Structure 1
Amino acid sequence: MTGIPRGPEDVTPDWLGTALGVDVRAVDVVPIGTGQTGATYRATVTYATAQTALPGSFAIKLPAQDDAVRERVALGYRSEVEFYTDVAEKVAIPVPACFYSDITEDGTDFVLILADMAPAVQGDQIAGCSEQEAALAVEALAGLHAPTWCDPAWTQLAGIAMPKPGDEAAAGGMGEVCKMAAEITTDKLGDSMSAEDRETLSAAMAVVTPWLLTEPQRFAVMHGDYRLDNMLFDPDRKRISVVDWQTVGVGLPARDLTYFTATSLVPEIRSSVERDLVGRYHKALTGHGVTDYDLDTCWRDYQLGAVQAPVLTALGYAFASSTERGDEMILTMLSRGCQAIRDLGTLELITSST
């Protein structure tokens, strides 16, 4: 038995060598980033003999060191391990290669040994992205959606974080949780959030149930939290890798698309380039083999998808501890997301569809 490291101190040469199936002489482990629901480390490896099939460093993902957090996000851990073991090789979205994975039955302990994508750099959620980065992101997203497009087999994934298409009971339950999350979020942020955004947030979270049940016949595997902080860009901004697969779902594909543009582009840029970005996404879908999905329908789905922004943002914030950067990021994402909902007429579209 290889076992699962409890923390970085357990990523020893013996453990890593057993997991990789080679003789490891030494390993140096240092943290990467400041994840709230998990922890990622860079492991630089010295092999006993020269290796041509394995890299010199890896990114190793482990659970949060706080036991309470582990229990709360166990479904997310299951989702991420399931993605790398059962989904990643069947889709075309660029992700780090996975060399090893393991998870306990209750999901509170897991490990992933992934390719180290350095010198790629993480997107800056607060600053927002450029048009070039946005184009990379939406074209990559089609590589996730197209290979899983309307295939009911994907609804059987065990780690789905959001209600499955057409599940009225689950959609109703999620709707109630979202209303609660909206109240908690507005209370926590107080006057930092504008009155207009508070109104939009409340209205959006009040229609989550019918929103989730809209267009149930059109679905694909979704990333769920498709935003800049979960993307790595090569220094030349010609390649992208997508990470953090703890919110995988199955639902209306364009929810991922609008969540990205609404939270990761400043509103002025979004409004000027979103038609082009939707066109790029649609063209990439057809290039991957999706048929019977015209651009007008894609644009309507994009309009509907904007509710994903307050849903994911408020759910993540309402039940988590606050930090200074975290609060700034949430305010930024909510402000951008609420503006997108108003600009796109999303709430009116949901009302007319039910």
Structure 2
Amino acid sequence: MTVVSGPSELTPELLSEVLGAKVSAVTWERVGSGQIGACYRLRLDGDEEVPRRLIAKLAAEDEGSRAFLAPAYRAEVCFYRDLASTVTIRTPRCHYGALSDDNTTFVLLLDDLHPATQGDQLAGCTPAQAADAVANLAGLHGPRWCDASLLDVPWLSAVGEDDAASLGEVFGPAVETFTDRFAGVLGDRDVGTLRDTAAAITAWATGRQDVFGLVHGDYRLDNLIFPPGDAPGVTAVDWQTLSIGHPLRDLAFLLGTSLEPDRRAALERPLVGAYHAALAAHGVTGYGLDACFEDYRFAALQGPLITVLGCAYGARTERGDRMFLAMAARSCAAIRDLRTLDLV
């Protein structure tokens, strides 16, 4: 399989080979911020069956960071290669994927979803968008719900006791860094909730393991592509954080970070109910709505966990700071409202 390290290597000759159709010309432009990898929009000319637009995802331009990011590259390429066809969640069609032997270089050629647009983590989402995203999420979880064969997939990881202990050692200092960065802006109640979350995170990370499945890990608005005009049909992208865990973590993360507290409180029971009904439509049995909502409550620590670690390890930007503050405030409010820490 051919792997490239930069967009200039995506020549008409190479694209003709990997797409199986004659490409006569290609141009490209950079899109996105590229904190984990680099994304480019390709415009192609060629035979009738050649897609006219594609998104190319490649490894980060900073070669020094690629070894650290190798597990993320492996997860995304292998998701499209091994698992996308076994679930019903909407994802971009993958025309080609390849990964180097050491997992530090990769290429994915995906459908360009234009004119659909990325969700806005700062602005939040409408009730219709939330309902669409919830139903789509069930298409990831339902088909492989408690599927023991996932435990044999070599590139998928689940959190064990040692992993949970390491997470606790990392997350506590990350919370202090986060609160220092946003001192005077982050509310005192939220600071307290973040510190209480840090104290509970080790026990939480290995809790409720009787229910498990595929977890996107970062299922939020910036990783969702919505059709124009609030029409249904949202598509999920960015599969670098895929793992095995409690599926409700994705749902709690989505609702807890994408909706303002008052709106979330008003909508979360019907949205959890819609998710539960969608699971049943995918064949999930023996999992009642009450248990689903209790797991949703328990899973709410996913919000500050991903928010704080994303802030700690991502490149700092003005929009990023505002986004992380909004996500932290929303998810901390959810933890308090749902009394999540009482369940850990």
TM-score under structure 2 length normalisation: 0.96
Structure 2: 5+ residue stretches without partners: none
* Match of residue 184, structure 1, among 165, 177, 181: 177
Cross-structure match for 1:33: 32
The 5 A counterparts of 1:293-332 are 293-332=287-326
* Match of residue 257, structure 1, among 248, 251, 256: 251
Cross-structure match for 1:273: 267
Cross-structure match for 1:42: 41
Cross-structure match for 2:2: 3
Report if aligned partners of 2:150, 2:156 keep a CA contact under 8 Å in 1: no
Provide the aligned C-alpha RMSD in A: 1.3
* Match of residue 230, structure 1, among 223, 228, 238: 223
The separation in 2 between residues aligned to 1:188 and 1:116, in whole angstroms, is 36
Q: Are 1:61 and 2:60 an aligned pair? A: no
Shift of 1:21: 1.8
Report if aligned partners of 1:159, 1:248 keep a CA contact under 8 Å in 2: no
* Match of residue 192, structure 2, among 199, 204, 207: 199
Shift of 1:142: 0.6
Cross-structure match for 1:143: 139
The separation in 1 between residues aligned to 2:136 and 2:328, in whole angstroms, is 24
* Match of residue 151, structure 2, among 140, 155, 169: 155
The separation in 1 between residues aligned to 2:153 and 2:116, in whole angstroms, is 30
Shift of 1:321: 2.8
Q: Secondary structure of the equivalent of 1:144?
A: helix
Q: Are 1:131 and 2:127 an aligned pair? A: yes
Shift of 1:68: 2.7
Which runs of at least 4 in structure 1 moved beyond 4 Å after TM superposition?
none
The separation in 1 between residues aligned to 2:320 and 2:64, in whole angstroms, is 19
Report if aligned partners of 1:303, 1:345 keep a CA contact under 8 Å in 2: yes
Supply the AA of the counterpart residue of 1:92.
T
| Residues 290-339 of structure 1: per-residue CA shift (max 9 Å, x gap) | 00000000000000111000111111111233111111111111111111
* Match of residue 78, structure 1, among 65, 70, 74: 74
Report if aligned partners of 2:297, 2:339 keep a CA contact under 8 Å in 1: yes
Shift of 1:40: 1.2
| Residues 275-301 of structure 1: per-residue CA shift (max 9 Å, x gap) | 010000000000000000000000000
Identity, in percent, stands at 44
The separation in 2 between residues aligned to 1:19 and 1:220, in whole angstroms, is 32
Q: Secondary structure of the equivalent of 2:241?
A: coil
The separation in 2 between residues aligned to 1:192 and 1:67, in whole angstroms, is 35
The separation in 1 between residues aligned to 2:197 and 2:156, in whole angstroms, is 22
Q: Secondary structure of the equivalent of 1:321?
A: coil
Shift of 1:266: 1.3
Shift of 1:187: 2.2
Structure 1: 5+ residue stretches without partners: none
